[in-house]
Amino acid sequence: MKVENLNVYSDSVIVVYQINGGYQAKGPRTELYLKCAQRIIARFNEVRLELIPHEQNEGADELAKLGSRREATLLGVVPLDIQRLPSVPEHEVISLSNDLGPTWITPILAYIKEGLLPDEKNEARRIRYKASRYVIYDVVLYRRGFSAPLLKCIDGDECNYILRKYTRAFVEITRG
């Protein structure tokens, strides 16, 4: 038996509208996941992706929470599969890392890793001064402070995710 028609219900406005073509996928990683979803959708005759209220998706949320707890009593009831690699094929992830281009982190990393500085004297001095406040641990750039913990430096999709998450939380707090 082969499934030909598929109905998908999601409470994620962004996912539903991106796949249905209402929203544009922003960011290289989001575009890769959208392309991956479109390849899967192409295998079916008909796929309907519908937005449902969050309240109607509580069962799926609870099931996901149960599976992530890893309690011994639930292991036989809720199948647990740990995803260790991204669901996007590896060759596409490699191309993603090459497509990002220079960011604010790039000159600091170039100086710390390889001692490379821009040709312009003032810019080189500024990078050298800035780089003294940063350190690399496990291939990740951190900003260090005198009496503060190390702060992870982020950019790209990770930055956008955090901004969206905390902007939404701030709006909810101010509404009240």
Q: What is the pLDDT of residues 78-89, one digit of tens each?
A: 555 666 665 665
- CA dist list (Å): 58 to 51, 66, 77, 81, 158: 14, 12, 18, 20, 27
Distance between CA atoms of residues 155 and 158, nearest Å: 6
32: exposed, middle or buried (Cβ count in 10 Å: 0-12, 13-18, 19+): buried
Domain boundaries, the chain: 5-87, 101-175
CATH of 5-87, one of 3.50.30.40, 1.10.10.10, 3.30.420.10, 3.60.20.10: 3.30.420.10
What is the overall mean pLDDT for the chain? 76
- Amino acid in the structure at residue 51: L
Contacts of residues 57-66 at CB distance under 8 Å and 24 or more positions apart, as own/partner, are 57/9, 57/10, 57/11
108: exposed, middle or buried (Cβ count in 10 Å: 0-12, 13-18, 19+): buried
Give 124-140 pLDDT, tens digit per residue. 999 999 999 998 887 78
pLDDT confidence of 121, banded at 50, 70, 90?
Answer: very high
pLDDT confidence of 58, banded at 50, 70, 90?
Answer: confident
Q: Is the pLDDT of residue 94 over 50?
A: no
User: Residue 8: in which H helix or E strand, if any?
Assistant: strand 5-10
- CA dist list (Å): 64 to 70, 73, 78, 79, 97: 11, 15, 9, 10, 30
Confidence at residue 127, expressed as pLDDT on a 0 to 100 scale:
93
The predicted model scores a pTM of 0.41
Q: What is the mean pLDDT of residues 8-34?
A: 82
Q: Is the pLDDT of residue 172 over 80?
A: no
pLDDT confidence of 95, banded at 50, 70, 90?
Answer: very low
Q: Which of 99, 89, 97 is nearest to 33 (CA)?
A: 89
More confident residue, 94 or 110: 110
Confidence at residue 98, expressed as pLDDT on a 0 to 100 scale:
41
Determine the length of the chain. Answer: 176
More confident residue, 90 or 174: 174
